A and B are shown apart, each in its own frame.
Chain A
Amino acid sequence: AQSVSQHNHHVILSEAASLELGCNYSYGGTVNLFWYVQYPGQHLQLLLKYFSEDPLVKGIKGFEAEFIKSKFSFNLRKPSVQWSDTAEYFCAAKYIFGTGTRLKVLA
């Protein structure tokens, strides 16, 4: 069965700390992987996507993700988080989403 796992449910960081959110998928066939973000009170929106190109994908607001096929992983990273990054982050393989990670950045 298709599935996406996010192991960090809640993350609290101070500003300027580095961020890595884990995502593992189980999905047959061609894999299209996404990270979406939902800021407080806003719609879900795309952060970045992987479409069988360079395994290191760069998205908006300084986020990046690395696709590692051998590990079935697509972890999200940001070298230095800001207070405005406080949001919920969802990893997805096509239309199958993980349970989300709530990130709180302390000013």
Chain B
Amino acid sequence: GAGVSQSPSNKVTEKGKDVELRCDPISGHTALYWYRQSLGQGLEFLIYFQGNSAPDKSGLPSDRFSAERTGGSVSTLTIQRTQQEDSAVYLCASSLELSGDEQFFGPGTRLTVL
């Protein structure tokens, strides 16, 4: 079956603009995760969803970051008023359930803020 997909694959934007990143998880997976991968920083957890709810938003770096998930499927990560330090690869993953299941990762969106 299809894996996790993300769009766009690359996004270049100007400082101060808003961006939306999209994630389509594997069908039937109830848990969805967003991470940020920067050079030397590893995988930084941002937020996860169980269904449409986000029980843990503790990883969101600032109030410029928000995410939503609708219909227990597609998720959007929005970054408002982008800054250069937001440049990174944003990864999405999904798992069957939250309880520590294996996560399946998407290819990521490479965001560059000029």
Please list the residues of chain A having a beta carbon within 8 angstroms of any beta carbon in chain B. 6, 30, 32, 34, 36, 43-46, 49, 51, 90, 92, 94-100
Q: What's the least CB distance linking B47 to chain A, in Å?
A: 10
A100–B102 CB distance below 8 A: no
Q: Pick from B15-23, B80-88, B103-111 the stretch touching chain A.
A: B103-111
Cβ contacts A to B, 24 pairs, < 8 Å: A30-B100, A32-B99, A34-B102, A34-B103, A36-B103, A43-B3, A44-B91, A44-B93, A44-B103, A44-B105, A45-B105, A46-B103, A51-B100, A90-B43, A92-B43, A95-B33, A95-B45, A97-B43, A97-B44, A97-B45, A98-B43, A99-B41, A99-B43, A100-B42
What bracket does the count of chain B residues touching chain A fall in?
A: 20 to 34
Most buried by A among B43, B91, B106: B43
- Which residue of B has the minimal Cβ distance to A45? B105
Query: In the complex, which residues of chain B have a beta carbon less than 8 angstroms from the beta carbon of A32?
Result: 99-100
